Amino acid sequence: MSGPSQPKTVDEDWSDERVKAFLELQPQDDTNPDYHVLIKAYHYMVAFDFARFVTFFVEAGRDINAQDQNGNTILDLISKHASSTAYAELLEKAGAKKSS
């Protein structure tokens, strides 16, 4: 059998609870927990849901400028992706900065 075991779902509505659940994710290594949840949300959410997540993230008092083990912020990473302009703008509006 080839291909995924589950069909791809598009245009799926994410509840606030599902979006907020990403705040509870924990890294399996020594990655900064705030950086970890930002990366996971970026990888799994469309821009609309990511915007909601960033609001919940900031309201929870989390660090929007958390860094990875190399001193990079989420904005450093996302800014390298040409198709992620909307995500970068959302982060900048929430106070995200590049490390350099």
CB atoms within 10 A of CB 53: 26
Within a domain: 5: no
Q: What is the pLDDT of residue 3?
A: 47
- Can you give the pTM of this predicted structure? 0.85
Within a domain: 7: no
Within a domain: 6: no
Task: Note whether 44 and 18 are within 8 A (CB).
Answer: no
Within a domain: 9: no
Within a domain: 35: yes
pLDDT bracket for residue 10 (50, 70, 90)? low
**What's the domain count of the chain?**
1
Q: What is the pLDDT of residue 36?
A: 96
Residue found by looking up tokens 């993230």 in the block: 57
59 to 3, 34, 62, 77, 94: CA distances (angstroms)? 39, 13, 8, 23, 10
Q: What is the pLDDT of residue 52?
A: 96
pLDDT bracket for residue 6 (50, 70, 90)? very low
Task: Single out the residue of 53, 51, 49, 48 nearest to residue 37, CA to CA.
Answer: 53
* 73 DSSP β-pair partners: 67
Q: What is the mean pLDDT of residues 61-77?
A: 97
